[in-house]
Structure 1
């Protein structure tokens, strides 16, 4: 079966959606689809090197990538009002080229981009929309049109399904995000990983690998770093004996975060790193932290963060803030759950990992066992079966 994965996105990108799109295209091929990724021809993001898209993400299974004409206004800042106009001009430019490209072609069109879906002819192709957030204007005629056109809706969390089901009456598939198990099950020692990354061998390392958006809740982990202490065998360790490493983020967010952490000698903010290095950073860590923001619905109810599955696959003990979206996958048996937005609770959870090695080993082994069902291939197969039914 031919599947056109439509993504109006610049690829490669430092953002997580790029990983998700590319990994799903690879998985769709493994699941039996003839998958073709259709994207706009645009300038590359800074910091993504010169490698091709497939090489950047380290893929082994190849698939066709087609770049179609699209206006590109990246780097142009005319203020909020005119930037929105440029955004919509780009959207229409891409969908116009998309309609021309798909004319006369048959197959399944799959996309995270609801605008592209809304502009396509549902009579010629089966259309599927994968939603990662809940639209604010869900009652609008635009979304009613999308719902009439699509053959199925895929969402990444039960929270999304619950809210969408009030407006979309057909079947909704919940397909949480996934991970490449082989890529994150690194077969080297922690010490070797630290040597390769030039990280200290004599410190405990707490890692956060992901973006620094406000709704990600990373400010709480930075607050923990300011006064963190723990003890081993009743010997009090100092703040300097623990290194808090933040990997990821856009240039703008990283700059802001570095300003907030100014003067903290136990914080290392690395910014964006090549995706194939992330497994090494997780291997080098003693504790992986998953933060959120309970006041933001996308964090509390809707998200299915890639880092959660990557943490689980790495075998690193997880300390996670307790949110319904996270609990769809993790629980007390495979991680240490602490109250969200409570820095004292977060610090206590990290201390527990350091001070109770037996518990840390037990939850990391259980999380690795539990993540086996969250591979990209199993996700693609689940979506394929949903399409058949």
Structure 2
């Protein structure tokens, strides 16, 4: 029983992570129900088709109280609080022997701690600089705790009284089949209207919690590269950030070399990646970067791309110098040097891409779901 207090479908990565885990749990012969709180949604596409899912689990929306008439942030906070409470109380009708309740958003986990049955908590991108009592309550009441990265686990152990044996580090994953595209790079480029030549790419949301995910640094790097023939494609939103970065590219005089595609349905992301030569994860050094397990990393690997990434512990849990090139976080010149290096060395590019694709096989959603289920059902705590 997966509970989520948020909008689905959503263009944000957490939505994809949740639904792919539900799909993977169901593939392992589990009956899975995903309950989400009702939200007004600008996305009108069918839930299953938006994510390209197999219909092997049940998805239900739980009624919520519409208080959008209240002023801005006040409406958001009250809606979040009330819908989480309703979601947990609604889910209790499914309580029974063998039912595992599972959630990853804090308010749902809090109300499960207060009112709910035994549950497992998945914690992502822990960003608090100081301990919070409600998180201690969640960790106390949870049967098991799943951390998305070693960085997340280390911060939780630093801030709270919780046994390390109660916690499992489970990085995000990828659907390998979605990236097994029969068409060649040239065929997909023609289909998408991409030009010939070197294409550098960034796929995914351009900000998190209002912070730039390093895209500005990537644009700066492209502006100082020696290989001026390289074109940067940026896939993702939101639109206000797209406009900001368009302005940055224009200011640097490279607006003709930076193409902004905007947000696209996740189901066609593999085709965009097929068309690219080099992909970049340019995260700056902050707490998010230390605890994140970015889904784009696993998708880059599954697409067999050459990866250039910020030199961060969270990323190096997954990749190493045999699968990627690294640069100092925040160093646009260092990133430019690595871009030029890989363009000038095709044999290195081939080796990195091959090892990256091979490494991706260890990170399927199915293997993640099996590991989590086995951990939850184990006796140790």
TM-score, length-scaled by structure 2? 0.91
- Offset at 1:380? 0.4
The alignment partner of 1:125 has SS state of coil
- Offset at 1:137? 6.7
The alignment partner of 1:288 has SS state of strand
Equivalence for 2:182: 187
Is 1:41 aligned with 2:45?
no
Q: 1:323 to 1:97 in 2, by over 3 A?
A: same
Which of 264, 267, 281 lines up with 1:276 in the alignment? 267
Q: 1:330 to 1:121 in 2, by over 3 A?
A: closer
User: What stretches of structure 1 of length at least 5 have no aligned partner?
Assistant: 231-238
- Offset at 1:228? 2.3
The separation in 2 between residues aligned to 1:256 and 1:24, in whole angstroms, is 34
The separation in 1 between residues aligned to 2:352 and 2:272, in whole angstroms, is 19
Equivalence for 1:169: 162
Is 1:211 aligned with 2:205?
yes
Which of 235, 250, 253 lines up with 2:238 in the alignment? 250
Q: 1:116 to 1:18 in 2, by over 3 A?
A: same
Q: Deviations over 1:147-183 (max 9, x none)?
A: 2221111111111111112314231110000001010
Q: Deviations over 1:85-131 (max 9, x none)?
A: 22221123213322332234222111111211211267862211111
Q: 1:10 to 1:72 in 2, by over 3 A?
A: farther
Which of 63, 70, 87 lines up with 2:64 in the alignment? 70
The separation in 2 between residues aligned to 1:77 and 1:293, in whole angstroms, is 36
Equivalence for 2:20: 23
Which of 280, 291, 299 lines up with 1:289 in the alignment? 280
Q: 1:121 to 1:105 in 2, by over 3 A?
A: farther
The separation in 2 between residues aligned to 1:348 and 1:139, in whole angstroms, is 40
Equivalence for 1:90: 79
> Aligned pairs, how many?
366
On the 8 A contact 2:66/2:79 being kept in 1, the answer is yes
Is 1:305 aligned with 2:297?
no
TM-score, length-scaled by structure 1? 0.89
The alignment partner of 1:39 has SS state of strand
Q: Deviations over 1:42-75 (max 9, x none)?
A: 2213xx3x3211110111242111101113466x
On the 8 A contact 2:27/2:56 being kept in 1, the answer is no
On the 8 A contact 1:122/1:150 being kept in 2, the answer is no
Q: 1:319 to 1:73 in 2, by over 3 A?
A: farther
The separation in 2 between residues aligned to 1:343 and 1:207, in whole angstroms, is 15
On the 8 A contact 1:215/1:298 being kept in 2, the answer is no
1:1-389 → structure 2 map (5 Å cutoff): 4-45=1-42, 48=43, 50-72=44-66, 78=71, 83=73, 85-106=74-95, 107-120=99-112, 125-136=117-128, 139-166=131-158, 167-170=160-163, 171-201=166-196, 203-213=197-207, 214-230=211-227, 239=228, 241-262=229-250, 263=253, 264-294=255-285, 296-299=286-289, 301-389=290-378
The separation in 2 between residues aligned to 1:122 and 1:27, in whole angstroms, is 28
The separation in 2 between residues aligned to 1:344 and 1:363, in whole angstroms, is 21
User: What stretches of structure 2 of length at least 5 have no aligned partner?
Assistant: none
On the 8 A contact 1:220/1:343 being kept in 2, the answer is yes
The separation in 1 between residues aligned to 2:331 and 2:146, in whole angstroms, is 33
On the 8 A contact 1:157/1:174 being kept in 2, the answer is yes
The alignment partner of 1:373 has SS state of coil
The separation in 2 between residues aligned to 1:255 and 1:28, in whole angstroms, is 39
The alignment partner of 1:268 has SS state of strand
The alignment partner of 2:353 has SS state of helix
- State the Cα RMSD in Å: 1.8
On the 8 A contact 1:14/1:250 being kept in 2, the answer is no
The separation in 1 between residues aligned to 2:294 and 2:143, in whole angstroms, is 26
Q: 1:152 to 1:362 in 2, by over 3 A?
A: same
